[in-house]
Amino acid sequence: MNQTPYEAIGGDETIKKLVAAFYKRVAKHPDLIPIFPDDLTETQRKQHQFLSQFLGGPTLYSDEDGHPMLRARHLPFEITPGRANAWLSCMDEAMDEIGLENPMRDQIFSRLTFTAHHMVNTDKLD
């Protein structure tokens, strides 16, 4: 039987831990603070829903909000190459904190790297 990445990493519980470890860092990252809301509760809830379906689990995000259209939803925010790297460094550290193991860790991180670079919507230097 082929497991989804969602199942392989331990499902909902692991995603919840990852998202909490991630936003704890986003909240403190000087490059990210200016574009994120002060209260990250709702942002964190949406990310949990999104990652669930991104990793092959229940389609929580689309059930509530339809097609993610992630790039379009990010257009109101200036996402520089530096901010994409900041986002990825918070994710990298969050994966370390929760002890996400390989091969899933590298596989998921590389998909997120691709997605993060796709969100870049300005070549303004930062």
CB 107 within 8 A of CB 54: no
Whole-Å CA distances, 16 to 12, 47, 94: 6, 9, 11
Interface residue with ligand HEM among 5, 12, 119, 121 (CB under 6 A) is 119
Stretch (H or E) spanning 119: helix 104-119
**54-113 residues near ligand HEM, rule: CB under 6 A:** 65, 70, 73-74, 77, 79, 83-84, 87, 112
* Smallest distance from ligand HEM to CB 10, Å: 18
d(CA 124, CA 79): 9
Question: Residue 65 corresponds to which tokens in the numbers above?
Answer: 């909000």
* Smallest distance from ligand HEM to CB 25, Å: 12
The answer to whether 42 contacts ligand HEM (rule: CB under 6 A) is yes
* Smallest distance from ligand HEM to CB 61, Å: 6
The answer to whether 35 contacts ligand HEM (rule: CB under 6 A) is yes
Whole-Å CA distances, 14 to 42, 82, 92, 99, 116: 18, 27, 15, 10, 21
Residue 29 in marked binding region: no
Residues lying near ligand HEM in the complex (CB under 6 A): 32, 35-37, 42-43, 46-47, 50, 65, 70, 73-74, 77, 79, 83-84, 87, 112, 115-116, 119
Q: What residues are designated binding site?
A: 117
